[in-house]
A and B are shown apart, each in its own frame.
Chain A
Amino acid sequence: MSNSEVMGIVVRVMPSGDELEVELPIYSTGKEIKEELLAAEVAPRVDPEGNPYVYDLIFKRKNVSIGDSKTLFDLQIQEGDTLYLAPRLVPGGK
């Protein structure tokens, strides 16, 4: 397989509920995918108080988060698989 190979992945964004169909290179890392999604403004980088959101990219079929350095290939993610982009929540409701 070459670096240029891409596959179609579904990304569900929490909590907006948006469902996106994206083409991703199979050797793209979790960090690269998250960065690209955030650059495309699919989810906010900060909460309403200006504190940063940190996101997990979760591969539900295998119940794992794609680590920053792992690639889609590493996790054997396939065409049509669904990933969740979910913020790590901080508030506990003062």
Chain B
Amino acid sequence: MGDKPKKSQKLKLENTGGQKEHWDDTFRLMSWWDADRVKDAKVMVVGAGALGNEVLKNLALMNVGSIFIVDFDTIEYANLCRSVLFRTEDINKNRFKCEIAGDRIKDINPNVKVQTINGDIMIDVGLGVMRRMDVIIGCLDNRIARLFINRYAYKVGKVWIDGAIENLSGQLNVYKNGKSCYECALTNVDWENIRFKMGCADIAQRNSTQGRVPTTPISSSIIAAMQVQEAIKVIHGNEKQSMAGEQFKYDGMNNWIIQFQSEPVREECDSHYEIKEEELTHAKELRSDMKIGDCLTWLEKHFDDKEISIQLNYKIILEIASMNSEISHDIVIPEPHFSDHMQTPYQKEPGEPIGITKYVDMIDKDFPNLEMTLKEVGIPPLHILTVETSEDTYFVELTGDESFLNFK
């Protein structure tokens, strides 16, 4: 501090509300606190419910510089009793939880920059966005979202910190490649539940609870505080004192606290592939709003190979049929976006089941509409494409979307 900035150096001014102090002056009294690291940190929070509210509040108070919030939901009255960032007037507004939570944490600490995605972690968040984060915090309600975060975080080599609460109980898991893995710990019972929920067309049915499992702001505050505590350690590069590879459970009713080792990682697991920096093509020419045909042409040229396909981890529906009236329709919709609401126009009678009669799980030059954009078929900005050529598999980032990451 006190040094004159060099010519090439950007001045970073902190909003102190006219005060001469720093927001985090009291934290700077802690010998290990690195104010710049925290201010420069980028943290993704998936889920802006009870846990998410508390996590976001703590991140803002701790002066974490950039916060990326992902949630698909709107605010209901039932949320208010455990959501410190939401107010009665937020109900039935045409705004999403992630947006309102983002505004409120900026009210708390104007130094914090926020970006939000109203969507589903399974499909709507580019891997390149996750790759640019320092740590990912899961504040989720279901196994599917945890499974997908785990796979994505593993791919881009990021620690993810998972919290869960029920009643006056809570738990915390810190997943780090090589030390612990959510997917490795899944049992047959978990998989049955995941397969069942994956069959639900609607994002809300896949991702949310029906509100019959009790949760409290008490367990939420405790677990969220610990999630942020672990995130701060990751931001500081403190591996020694991190809880990675361990689990924590507490039961507030009985005052029982247990910390124990995570299940050992398995040899075989679908999550276990980390994209190494040297394996990644940073394609500045590619963006999610470009036409599929143009993207395939670029990839053909780049890899000097005519056999190019983009592999997907979801289906693109190409044809559906109303099952009773047996009328089929050609469509192009990513399956995770094909909600109940979108099915209604294809039902001849209300509630008529709609079946998928044709789909693809990859995109190549035979795709029925090469004029559509990558985004329209479910590939989000800054995503990392898995590209298969006749020779090998490659990872190609839509680096042309780099300006998408824009915290405000």
What are 23 A-B residue pairs whose CB atoms fall within 8 Å in the complex?
A15-B169, A15-B251, A15-B254, A17-B254, A47-B166, A49-B212, A63-B246, A63-B258, A65-B263, A86-B251, A89-B165, A89-B166, A89-B170, A90-B142, A91-B141, A91-B164, A91-B166, A93-B50, A93-B82, A93-B141, A94-B49, A94-B73, A94-B79
Give min CB distance, A51 to chain B, whole Å: 6
Give B contacts to A, CB under 8 Å.
47, 49-52, 73, 79, 82, 138-143, 163-171, 187, 189-190, 192-193, 208-215, 220, 246-247, 249, 251, 253-254, 256, 258-261, 263
Q: How far is the CB of B300 from chain A (nearest CB, A)?
A: 43
- Asked if residues B251 and A14 are in contact (CB atoms below 8 Å), the reply is yes
Taken residue by residue from 57 to 94, chain A's Cβ proximity to chain B (1 for < 8 Å, 0 otherwise) reads as 01110011101100000000000000010111111111
Task: Choose one: A12, A59, A84, A93; the contact of B220 (CB below 8 Å).
Answer: A93
Query: Does B213 contact A47, Cβ atoms closer than 8 Å?
Result: yes
Q: Are A88 and B141 in contact, CB atoms less than 8 angstroms apart?
A: no
* Distance between Cα atoms of A56 and B253 in the complex (Å): 19
| With known contacts A17-B251, A89-B164, A92-B51, A64–B260 Cβ distance under 8 A | yes
> Which residue of chain A is the closest to B196 with respect to CB atoms?
A51
Residues on A with beta carbons closer than 8 Å to the beta carbon of B254: 12, 14-15, 17
**Do the beta carbons of B249 and A86 come within 8 Å of each other?**
yes
B168-A89 in contact (CB<8A): no
Q: Is A92 a contact partner of B260 (Cβ separation < 8 A)? A: no
A interface residues with partner B (beta carbon < 8 Å): 12, 14-15, 17, 47-49, 51-52, 54, 56, 58-60, 63-65, 67-68, 84, 86-94
Q: How far is the CA of A87 from the CA of B212 in the complex (A)?
A: 17
Contact across chains for A63 and B215 when beta carbons are under 8 A apart: no
**Would you call A90 and B164 a contact (CB within 8 A)?**
yes
* Set of chain B residues within 8 Å of A91, measured between Cβ atoms: 141, 164-166, 209, 213, 215
Beyond A17-B251, A92-B215, list 5 extra A-B contacts (CB 8 Å).
A56-B260, A89-B165, A91-B165, A92-B49, A93-B141
Contacts of B246 in A (CB 8 A): 63
A92 touches B190 (CB 8 A): no
Q: Is the CB of A92 within 8 A of B258?
A: no
- Contact among A54, A65, A87 for B190, CB-based, below 8 A: A54
Q: Are A84 and B82 touching (Cβ within 8 A)? A: no
A92 and B141 in contact, given A52-B189, A63-B260, A84-B258 (Cβ under 8 angstroms): yes
Measured between alpha carbons, how far is A67 from B259 in the docked complex, in Å?
15
Specify which chain A residues have a CB less than 8 angstroms from the CB of B166 in the assembled complex: 15, 47, 87, 89-91
In angstroms, how far is the closest chain A Cβ from the Cβ of B118? 15
CB neighbours (8 Å) of A94 from chain B are 49-50, 73, 79, 141, 208-209, 211, 215
Cβ contacts under 8 Å, A58 to chain B: 249, 258, 260
